[in-house]
Amino acid sequence: MKRVIIANAQYWLDYLNVKPKDAVLADADIRGAARALEAVMTIPEVWPLTQSLALALHPHMERQGYWTDWDSFLHGLVIQARQQPDPAIEEALLIQRGAIQQQRGTYQAAIVTFRRAWWLWCQIGDQPGLARAFSNLSSLYRLQGHFGRAVILCQAALALFDTLDDTVGLARAENHLGLIYLDQSCWSDALPHLTRSKVLLQQAGDRHSLAKTLQNLGVLHQSTGELEIALDYLTQAILLHQAVGDEIHAARTLLNVGNVHLSRDDLQQAEMAYGQAEDLLRRAGDSLDLARARHNLGMVYTRLKNWNEAEACFERALERWRSQENPWNLANTLGELAGLYLACGAWSKAQACLDEAWKLVGERHEAHFHSLQRELTERRQQLHRLAGSDRREGEVGSAGNPEPTSSV
C-alpha cells in the first residue's frame, strides 16, 4: 500500500511541476493532489516527497481559495517538519501558513506564525526567508494600524530583496509600502511605490501579483476622485485575477468597482457589483470580505430607503466584525447603521450605535481614525438636531465609508 501512496504522490508532484505557476487547476485536480498529500503525510520516511508536494500545491490552494482546509494541512506539515527536524522547510511552510491566515483575517495568529519563521531564520541564517518574514509582518502590522512599525519592517524587506536581486519579492514589498501610505491617505507617497511594483511585476511576468497591484492602484485613484482611471485599473485587475483562477480577489476587486459607482451615486451599478462580489465570496466561504460586501450593500439600500434590507446587511456585517480585532471596521459599520436609523427616525437605536462606535475609536489618535471620528461626530450632532426637533423623517447625512479592499 505504501508503494501505491508514494507513486500517487509522485504522480501529482510531477503533474504540478509541469504546470505553469499561474495555471488554473480543476477542482478534481486540486482534490486529487490534496488527497495524495494527505496520504503521503502518514509515511515519515518519504518526507522530502511530502514537503515537495506541499510546496508545489500551495500556490494553487492559496490562489483558488481553499484557505480553511489548507490551513489545517499546513499546521500538520509544520509539526512534521519540526519533528524531522527540518528547520528550512518549517520556515517555508510557516511563511505559507501565515499568508493563508492573513487572507482569512486571523491577523494575530498570522503574526505568531511569522514570528516563529523569523526565529527560525535567526537559527539558520536564511536571507530570503528573513526578507519574506519582514515583508509579511509589515503587511500584518499595516492591517492592524501600526504604520510606523510596518514601514520599518517593509524598508528592511526592500533592502534585503534588492540585495538578493529578487525582482518579485522587491515588487511585492513595494506594493506593501504603497498600501501603508494608502491606508494613511498619503496618496502622493503611495503612488510611486505602487507604480514601481507594477513595472517590476510586468517585467517579471507575475500576473497574479500584478493583478493585486493594479487593484491597489484602482483604489488609490478612486480615493483621489480619478474615477475613470480607477475603473480602468480595476477592470484590468479583474481580468488578470480571473485568468489565474483567483475568484476571491476578483470578487474583492468587484467591491472596489462598486465603491466607484457608489461615489457616482449610480446605485443600480453599485448594487450589481456588490451583489456579484457577495455571491462569489459566499461560495468561496470568505467571511471577511463578505462582511465588506454586506456593509457596502447596506449603504446602497439605505440610500434607496430600503430600511429592512439595509439593516439586515449591516447586522450581518457586524456579526463578523465583532469577531475581528479591527475596531475601525466595527465602528464604521456601526456608524452607517446609525445613519440608517437617523434616516428612518429610530433615535434611540441610532444613539446606541453611535455610543458603541465612539467607545471603540473616540480616543484613537492614529491618522486613519480621524475621518471616521469626524463622521461619527457629525452624526451625533445630526441626532441631537433631529431628536431635539422631534422630526420623524431624518436625513441620511454624510456619504459614509464604503469598505475598500486592497491586496497583498
pLDDT of residue 286: 67
Residue-number span of the structural domain to which 369 is assigned: 286-408
pLDDT in tens, 142-164: 988 889 999 999 999 999 999 99
Task: Report yes or no on 274 lying in a domain.
Answer: no
Most confident of 41-45, 125-129, 259-263: 259-263
Size of the chain, expressed as the number of residues it contains: 408
pLDDT of amino acid 169: 94
- For residue range 227-257, what is the model confidence (pLDDT) as tens digits? 999 999 999 999 999 998 888 899 999 999 9
- Rounded to the nearest 10°, the torsion over CA 253, 254, 255, 256 is 60
Average the pLDDT over 9-20 and give the result.
Answer: 90
pTM for this prediction: 0.79
Cell numbers describing residue 93: 511552510
Q: How many CA atoms lie within 13 A of 314 on its CB side?
A: 26
Domain boundary among 106, 131, 158: 106
Structural domain contains residue 280: no
Would the CA dihedral through 19, 25, 28, 30 be positive or negative?
positive
**CATH number, position 402:** 1.25.40.10
Cβ 228 vs Cβ 235: under 8 Å: no
Q: Is residue 344 part of a domain?
A: yes
Q: Are 356 and 263 in contact (CB under 8 A)?
A: no
What is the predicted pLDDT for the residue at 403?
64
Provide the pLDDT for residue 392: 45
Read off the C-alpha cell for 108.
494575530
Asked whether residue 393 carries a pLDDT value surpassing 60, the answer given is no
pLDDT reported for residue 391: 46
Listed residue (144, 198, 153, 143) closest to 172, CA to CA: 198
Q: With respect to residue 160, please indicate whether it lies within any of the assigned structural domains.
A: no
Q: Which of 44-53, 166-175, 344-353, 366-375 is least confident?
A: 366-375
49 band by pLDDT with thresholds 50, 70 and 90? very high
Q: Cβ distance 37 to 53 under 8 Å? A: yes
In which band, very low, low, confident or very high, does the pLDDT at 205 lie, cut at 50, 70 and 90? very high
Give mean pLDDT, residues 67-89. 87
Between CA 104 and CA 86 the distance in angstroms is 27
More confident: 4 or 105:
4
Collapsing DSSP to helix, strand or coil, 401 comes out as coil
91 φ, ψ (degrees, to nearest 5): -60, -45
**Cα end-to-end distance, the chain, whole Å:** 42
| 175 is a domain residue | no
What pLDDT is attached to residue 270?
95
121 inside domain: no
Q: Give CA–CA dist 398/174, Å, rounded.
A: 34
CA distances from 86 to 51, 71, 80, 82 (A): 10, 19, 9, 6
Question: Which of 67, 83, 106 marks a domain boundary?
Answer: 106
Segment 362-368 mean pLDDT: 81
Q: Is 40 domain-assigned?
A: yes
**Separation of alpha carbons 173 and 159, rounded Å:** 10
% of the chain beyond a pLDDT of 70? 94
Task: Please enumerate, as own/partner, the contacts of 150-157 that have beta carbons within 8 Å and a separation of 24 or more.
Answer: 150/176, 150/180, 151/177, 151/180, 154/180, 157/131, 157/132
Tell whether 179 is covered by a domain: no
What pLDDT score does 396 carry? Answer: 45
CB atoms within 10 A of CB 124: 12
**In the chain, what is the greatest distance between 2 CA atoms, to the nearest angstrom?**
81
Q: What whole-number percentage of the chain has pLDDT above 90?
A: 54
Please, are residues 254 and 280 in contact by the beta-carbon 8 Å criterion?
yes
Among the candidates 76, 106, 136, a domain finishes at 106
Number of domains making up the chain: 2
